[in-house]
Structures are given as C-alpha cells and as structure tokens.
Chains A and B, each alone.
Chain A
C-alpha cells in the first residue's frame, strides 16, 4: 500500500486533471482493483452522471457494477447498506448534497451504527459521493453544505477534497476504508479553483498546483490535513472551495498566513491545527456552510480548549449566513473576500 509519499509520487508519471477527471480516475482504478466495488446512483450509468464523474465506467465495467437507480435516496443508501452487509463495497452517488436528506435515516441510524450495534459482525464500507456547496447559481436546493449534519453523527467519516490530486487519493482511501464515508465534492471547483471573485474570469485546473495527478493507485490517508502554505502571522483552518478563496484573499492582503486544508473533518487532524496555532497565536476558521452549529463552531471550540494560552486574539470564524442559499443573491451569501478580509483585519490589527 502506497501512503502519500512526496518522493515516490513525484517520481510517478502524472498529468494535469480537473477534479471530475481525478474522481473518475479514482473510481476506475478502484473498480479495476477490487471486484466488490460498484457505483450506483441517479444518472450515473450510461449517461455518466450529471457532472460526468462516472463517465465511461458502465461501458468498461458493465451494468452489473455501474447502474442507474430510482430517484429514491433512502433506497440508494438502504440498498448500499444491504450490499455492504453482503460483502460489497458500494460507492453510491447522491446527485446533489441537497438531495441526501431522504437517505438520512439509512446513514445516521443504519450505516453509521452497524459496526457498533452488531459488535463488529456487520460493517458498512460505503462511500457516499455527493457534490456540495454553492457558487454555481444552484439556488437553495443545489448549493447547500450540510457537512456538519454528518460530522455530528458517531460512526460516520466526512471527507472534503480541495484539489484534483487530493480528490483522487482521498477517494481511493475512502473506498478502501471499512467505515462509511461521506465524500463531499466542492462542485464550484470541479473545473478550476475559485478565488472568491465571482466577477473575474474562471480559471481551469490545467497547469495549476494541485491539478497534477499521478497515474495509477495512491492514497491520501483520512485524518491528515494539508498545510497549503506555511506562515507565521495567522492560522487559517478551512476545507473545500474556501481553501482557494482564503489563499487568494490572504495573498492579496500580503499576510504571511499558514493555511490548513483539513481534507477530512472526521477524523480530524487536530495536531496540525494545534501546532500551527501555537506558532501563530491567531486563528481564523472559514466555511461556506451556515453559521449556527456549523463545523466551525467545533473547530473554534477545539482551538480554544487546546491552544488558549497561545492565543493573542479571539478565534474568528467566517461562514455563510443562517439563511437558505438564495438564488439571485448567491454572491451576497457567499463568504467571499470582503467577509474574510474584515475578519483578517480584526485579527491582525494588534
């Protein structure tokens, strides 16, 4: 098993991919390696998924391993739990994270608890892939970031990549994991990173850092954060799309920030966060999801509990507002450069 290893990965042949291609590559590799891996979901078969993440897989692996499902998320996840009990390793796709709620009971009461309630007799090695987050004018039913609903559940892992390179390695690790994993894909950055300026031309991934994806099999272990940028003035803890927004805002402000991309929320790499805050003395937590009881509340609390005597300023959090995601005012909702900038100014004023 090849763990993330900069030397060997550097030597491996690689090519530039967008995040969809990287996810497709991970699925392709895992289906070829393990005959128990299968892909199912609405429109994932012949058509290859509304975002094309499963394109070509049915043709390659057959209809018994890549197939469309009824529009019934309870059934998709419930059937996946049964398949896992049989011994398969299903990778269901929920077309949008906003559609996951009809399957919530099967995730929260079933998949998450099988191992515990059966004392290890039955397990649910399921990876539920789902595009999440806003920034594509998806309105209130195609833009949500419900990750905190899942991090709150004992027995679920929650993984969110921020680059094509990480998406592939994390998805492979998630599929191989013997616990159920919610794998949220930030759809705003499927085709290119996003700096938070909706009115600037979007950039494709091609040639950008993070888009260079090694060929073949590699895994990025769950629970290991990535330090995007080392710095001394301030620690920014974030994940998904907001990694790129934070990077752009702090570069623009010329602040020597240390930016941490968590990559997985559960399990959480608290060591990397702690070490960084102890060094910088300041911490900003950013997520796109709504504010109240968001995962940021957990992060702020952990930093306060574990790094209090190193803190030189109150821990700040920047989030989406506590409203549904509005269609026309999407960019008023989005926690972009202005909201982040204000928080950074407050933290840096002393």
Chain B
C-alpha cells in the first residue's frame, strides 16, 4: 500500500499556522457604542429602477440602502411613495397600537398571565408597511415578529390575547406557544416556531398561485439569523427557478438571541446581496423608515404581480428589546446599542414627518397613545373573561387529541380515554 501524506502537525517551512476566525460583536455590556463604521447614505440618492427591470439592475441597491425620510423629517427622492396624510396617520396609529399591545402583553407575562411573549419594538415599520403595500388577500408566511401585519389587517386584538393566554376562547385551542398565531381569513399562515420553514412554503404557495393563474402573491419573513438555515437556500433556489411571485424578506435586526449578525455572515456582505447569487432582484432598505419599507415592498409586489419574479428585501433595523420574555439582552450586548441606533425609532420618525408636514401634533400623538392604551386594556379585560394560562378555563379536554388527524384513529381514542381517567384522579374538581 502506497504511503499517504505524512501528517506530523509540525509547521511546514515558512507557512504560518492556520487560524480559525470566530466572529465577535463590536460591543459587549458596559461598552460605549460607536456606529461611525455603518455606512448610512443620505436619503433620496438612490435611483428607483423600473419594476420590470432585469434583476441585475437592482444589485447595486443590495449593497446600498434605500432611504426616504431624512434627518430633516422630509420625504425625498424617487423612492418616496407619495402616500397621503390619511394613510400616513393610519400607519402611524397601527405602529403605535402594535407597540402598545406589545407593552401590555409583556407586562401580562411578567404578571404570570401567560408563559411567554415576544415584542417587535423598533421593527414595527416593517410589518405595518408591508401590510399596507400588499393587497389584503396576499398571503403572508410570517416569522414570530410580524404581529404588526395581523394588527394592520384588522385581526381582533381579543383573539390575539385569547391565543396568548391559551384560554378557552383561544382559536388555536391552547395548543400553540403564545404569539404563534394562525389566521387564514386574514391571509396569515400558522406560525411555526421552527425557524425559516415558512420561506420555502411561501414560495410553494406563490407557485400554486401562478399554476392556478391567480393574481395573489405571497410574502415571507425570516430574521437575519435564520437566513443561515438550509430552508433559505431552498426558498431562494425554488423562487429563482420557477420565477415565483413572492417577496422574501430578511429582517436584519442585528441579533439572534445572543448571536450577532456576524454569525449569519453579515461581516462578509449584506443579506440583500445574496439575491445576486440566485439571479433574482434584491433591495436593501432602512427598516426604520416606514416610507422606504413601503416603497420597497410595493416595488417588489408590483414586480411579482407582473410575472417578473421574486425579490429579496433586507430590512436593516435593530431589535430594541430582548429576543423574548425568556431573554435578558443586558447579559450579552451593550444597552447603548439601542439608545444610539443611528436609524432612530420608526414611530418617532413617522411622527416627526407628519408634524413637519403640518398633518400631526405632539398633542394629537399623546391623545392617540392614551386612546390606544385604553383600547388594548379593554381588549385585555375582554379576553381575561375567557381565562388566563393555567387557571382552568381551557378548551374541553378531549380537544387535545383532535386535529392530529382528520379522524381520530383507535390509538388516539385509547390515549384520550387514558387522559380523561387521569384527569378524574388529578383534578377531580375539573369542569368543562
């Protein structure tokens, strides 16, 4: 047998030893933050290509950033969607309602009313703009931080809270972790909790719509962290191969629990730049600028609806709060990051823009916030009539075994009988 290469582990000649690079975020708890390395272009400078353009005409945009709202609170440039003041006020109110809802649900979790909650603070513009830019019957395959889309589409807050409390009125019968909504009538796919699985599903839905000669398109969202999943590659490949009418969004909020975006490849290139590798259109947008997000989404939706194919959009934003109620971001990142985020807060930016237009005022804003807080409070009280987690007001016991299959097979029937026997011993006072 021939001798193979000798592996002594000793250095060879003058070659330096190999060195593994493990990414490390710039700032840790207690650090001051310097964002001067971030390239943030002036708003209004980027051209807006025709929606039917060649995919490659968009690729310069994937390394740049579409912005509309400037520091002077004016909307400028070819990407300005030119929305009327009424629409802007509605978008502002929906963002504020989403934040008010998040705040109350977060407190509800801390008060023991449920097990878990996830806020979208700082990322409201992405969901609200997408909901406004799409048709009401376009299909959304969300991740777990697009509650703003449900709220924007008018899904009842009470139903959301029933789901969060897993109570007897929970439309999902107490089966899902809080915030994993499902709302078919609102074009909102059942949230998985497994990451990025919705991405290829959205492409499949869009393919089906094209097969049937429909006019509806699909959209889906992943975080920058889960863009590392194989499902992302599957979705991008299928979207490209079949020219699917789908808008694929990466919400780059910088953090995936405690892992910064470098662990998804952000130190090498932008997430939007991946579009070029698949040969599809790509846009990179200031995710805290609701006008820019709206414009990008509208561009991509028009393109998809005109049979011109898919678009990948990176929304550059910041996760201003923890990953979930189970997370403590002060343990791994500097608190100054959120405070100093150079793209600001999406609600404040739209508020200032409306004020600059003479279409809004501080007084109106404060009144709106009070009204929204009352609205959420009323919905919470209404939902609490149906119970909170773990306080006996559940769906009937047997529903635990339903919907595994369309029909109940014998083995589940036997297990249901076992569970009911156990219940009579464990909780004799149980009433259904």
Contacts and interface: CB of A to CB of B under 8 A. Distances in A.
Interface of A: 38, 64-65, 69-70, 72, 74-75, 78-83, 85-88, 102, 105-106, 109-110, 114-123, 154-155, 157, 177-179, 223, 266-268, 270
Given A110-B192, A116-B403, A78 B176 contact: no
B403 A83 contact: no
B176 A117 contact: yes
B241 interface: yes
Given A79-B204, A86-B208, A72 B238 contact: yes
Contact of A74 (B176, B182, B230): B230
Contacts, number: 140
Contacts of B431: none
A309 B20 CA distance: 64
B202 A82 contact: yes
A269 to B, nearest CB: 9
B304 interface: no
B172 A82 contact: no
Contact of A85 (B197, B201, B211): B201
10 contacts: A75-B235, A75-B238, A78-B231, A81-B204, A119-B173, A119-B175, A121-B190, A157-B405, A268-B409, A268-B411
3 tightest Cβ-Cβ pairs between the two chains A and B: A82-B204, A78-B200, A79-B204
Contact of A117 (B190, B200, B235, B410): B190
Contacts of A86: 139, 204-205, 208-209, 212
Nearest to B202: A82
A81 B209 CA distance: 13
Contact of A82 (B141, B171, B241): B141
Nearest to A62: B211
B219 to A, nearest CB: 12
Contacts of B209: 86
B238 A270 contact: no
Given A72-B233, A83-B211, 12 more contacts: A70-B234, A70-B241, A79-B201, A79-B204, A82-B201, A85-B189, A85-B205, A87-B208, A105-B231, A110-B194, A118-B190, A119-B172
A329 to B, nearest CB: 23
A81 B200 CA distance: 9
B26 interface: no
Contacts of A78: 197, 199-201, 203-204, 231, 234-235
A121 B200 contact: no
Given A74-B230, A122-B182, A268-B411, A117 B205 contact: no
A82 B208 contact: yes
B234 A116 contact: no
B419 to A, nearest CB: 14
Contacts of A179: 405-406
Interface string B215-249: 00010000000000011011101100100000000
B201 A120 contact: no
A69 B202 CA distance: 16
A222 B311 CA distance: 42
B319 to A, nearest CB: 24
A121 B182 CA distance: 8
